[in-house]
């Protein structure tokens, strides 16, 4: 089955993103396809490569980056939600005249159309949120 | 686009206090370009999103309720509001803004987009949807 995943709560504050990660890992292990995970609302904060959790805690962003690298999952961060919350890739930072960017490897910033497209192209859309 | 799915945007939260309602509406507006079968549902505190006379001057937030009235122009024709949620909050249909769409199958006559339905009917609306985006 082709499964799309929507993450709509932020890392460490809420379990949604951890549950989503475990779900995607399990779905892939069971032979399902997970072509894309879409990050919305505070979920976009998962993509910050400046996150430095204590060493004895899980590193949420690095786990997702590794998952994207290993399984080719398309990790998409909503641009409108990201810009509100200070999440920029190098291109956006330059376009907006900002002196830094923080998007981690394996993630890309794109529009909400990617969420709708995921809903159209997958058999199920599973939301992890509140 | 050949395959049309039924998208249901489920709005459960008050318009202000959290960003969910505003960012839900942003998805609806973008999603309208994909020519899918779109419905919006309003339950629990989500019914406050459609109330008349919203004034956000005191909280430094944009009042985005007028945007709902433009949904007809985006070919969004179905806004389901749960009657029990209204009643539990001391609201009735008269407290809601007017949203209309032009019915292309009826000589472009303007028709109300808001339909107040029961909780049981709302369950059917949800069961009927292919994709439910819950905010």
Beta strands, E only, B62-135: 79-82, 100-103, 109-112, 114-117, 131-134
Query: What domains are defined for chain B?
Result: 6-134 (3.40.1260.10)
Q: What is the ipTM of this complex?
A: 0.92
pLDDT digits (tens, 9 = 90+) for B40-96: 999 999 999 999 999 999 999 999 999 999 998 898 999 999 999 999 999 999 999
Q: How far apart are CA B77 and CA B100, in angstroms?
A: 8
Comparing CB atoms, the residue among B7, B23, B33 nearest residue A119 is B7
What is the chain A residue with the closest CA to B134? A127
Test B31 with A116 for CB contact under 8 angstroms: yes
Q: Residue B13 is encoded by which pair of tokens?
A: 């939260």
Using a CB–CB cutoff of 8 Å, tell me whether A28 touches chain B: no
- Say if CB B11 and CB B51 are below 8 A apart: no
Backbone angles phi, psi at B10, to 5 degrees: -100, 110
Q: What is the pLDDT of residue B1?
A: 46
What is the chain B residue with the closest CA to A119? B131
User: Could you give the number of structural domains in chain A?
Assistant: 1
Give the domain extent around A43. 3-128
pLDDT values of chain A reduced to their tens digit, one per residue, 130 residues: 999 999 999 999 999 999 999 999 999 999 999 999 999 999 999 999 999 999 999 999 999 999 999 999 999 999 999 999 999 999 999 999 999 999 999 999 999 999 999 999 999 999 999 9
Using a CB–CB cutoff of 8 Å, tell me whether B70 touches chain A: no
Q: What is the pLDDT of residue A112?
A: 96
The CATH number of the domain holding residue A96 is: 3.40.1260.10
Test B19 with A41 for CB contact under 8 angstroms: yes
- Examine the pLDDT at B131 and tell me if it is beyond 70: yes
Q: What is the mean pLDDT of chain B?
A: 95
Q: Taking a contact as any Cβ pair under 8 Å apart, which residues of chain B between 75 and 94 contact chain A?
A: none
pLDDT digits (tens, 9 = 90+) for B84-103: 999 999 999 999 999 999 99
Q: What is the pLDDT of residue A13?
A: 96
Q: What is the pTM of this model?
A: 0.95
**Region for B39 from its dihedrals, namely left if φ exceeds 0, alpha if ψ lies in -120 to 50, beta otherwise:** beta
Proportion of chain B above pLDDT 70, given as a percent = 99
Kindly list the residues from chain B whose CB atom is less than 8 angstroms away from the CB atom of residue A115. 27, 31, 133
Using a CB–CB cutoff of 8 Å, tell me whether A82 touches chain B: no
Q: How far apart are CA B51 and CA B64, in angstroms?
A: 11
Comparing CB atoms, the residue among B3, B27, B36 nearest residue A115 is B27
pLDDT band at B3 (very low <50, low <70, confident <90, very high): confident
Report CA-CA distances (Å) from A122 to A1, A117, B47, B67. Answer: 8, 9, 30, 29
Kindly list the residues from chain A whose CB atom is less than 8 angstroms away from the CB atom of residue B131. 119-120, 125
Q: What is the pLDDT of residue B2?
A: 53
Using a CB–CB cutoff of 8 Å, tell me whether A126 touches chain B: no
Using a CB–CB cutoff of 8 Å, tell me whether A119 touches chain B: yes
Q: What is the pLDDT of residue B48?
A: 98
Proportion of chain B above pLDDT 90, given as a percent = 94
């Amino acid at each position: 089955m082709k499964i799309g995943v929507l993450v709509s709560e932020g890392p460490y504050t809420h379990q949604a993103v951890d549950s989503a990660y475990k779900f995607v890992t399990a779905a892939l292990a069971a032979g399902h396809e997970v072509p894309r995970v879409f990050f919305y609302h505070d979920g976009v904060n998962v993509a910050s490569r400046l996150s430095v959790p204590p060493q004895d805690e899980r590193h949420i962003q690095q786990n997702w980056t590794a998952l994207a690298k290993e399984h080719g999952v398309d990790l998409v961060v909503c641009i409108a939600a990201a810009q509100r919350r200070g999440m920029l890739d190098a291109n956006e930072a330059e376009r907006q005249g900002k002196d830094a960017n923080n998007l981690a490897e394996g993630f890309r910033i794109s529009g909400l159309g990617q969420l709708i497209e995921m809903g159209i192209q997958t058999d199920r859309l599973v939301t992890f949120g509140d | 686009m050949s395959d049309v799915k039924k998208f249901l945007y489920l709005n459960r939260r008050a318009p202000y206090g959290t960003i969910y309602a505003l960012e839900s509406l942003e998805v609806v507006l973008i999603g309208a370009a994909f020519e899918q079968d779109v419905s919006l549902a309003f339950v629990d505190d989500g019914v406050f999103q459609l109330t008349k006379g919203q004034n956000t001057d005191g909280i430094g937030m944009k009042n985005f309720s007028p945007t709902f009235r433009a949904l007809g122009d985006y070919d969004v024709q179905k806004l389901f509001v749960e009657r029990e949620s209204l009643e539990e909050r001391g609201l009735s249909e008269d407290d809601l803004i007017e949203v209309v769409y032009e019915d292309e199958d009826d000589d472009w006559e303007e028709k109300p987009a808001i339909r107040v339905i029961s909780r049981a009917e709302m369950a059917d609306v949800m069961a009927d949807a292919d994709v439910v985006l819950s905010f």
